[in-house]
Amino acid sequence: MAYTVLNGHEKGVDKFMEICTWCLDHGIPYLTVYAFSTENWNRSEAEINGLFAIMERFFTNRLSDCLQRGIRIVVAGDRSRLNEKQRSIIEQAEEKTRQCSRLLAQIGISYGGRDELVRAMKKTAADIRAGRLTAEKITEEEISANLDTAGIPMIDMVIRTGGNHRLSNFFIWQSAYAEIYFTDTLWPDFSEKEFSEFVDDYKTVKINLGK
3-state secondary structure the chain: CCCCHHHHHHHHHHHHHHHHHHHHHHCCCEEEEEEEEHHHHHCCHHHHHHHHHHHHHHHHHCHHHHHHHCEEEEEECCHHHCCHHHHHHHHHHHHHCCCCCCEEEEEEEEECHHHHHHHHHHHHHHHHHCCCCCHHHCCHHHHHHCCCCCCCCCCCEEEECCCCCCCCCCCCCCCCCCEEEECCCCHHHCCHHHHHHHHHHHCCCCCCCCC
What average pLDDT score do residues 78-84 get? Answer: 96
* Banded pLDDT at 15 (limits 50, 70, 90): very high
Q: What is the pTM of this model?
A: 0.91
Is the confidence at residue 62, as pLDDT, over 80?
A: yes
Could you report the per-residue pLDDT of 147-184, keeping only the tens digit for each?
999 999 999 999 999 999 999 999 999 999 999 999 99
What average pLDDT score do residues 81-91 get? Answer: 96
Could you report the per-residue pLDDT of 133-153, keeping only the tens digit for each?
999 999 999 999 999 999 999
User: pLDDT above 90 covers what percent of the chain?
Assistant: 88
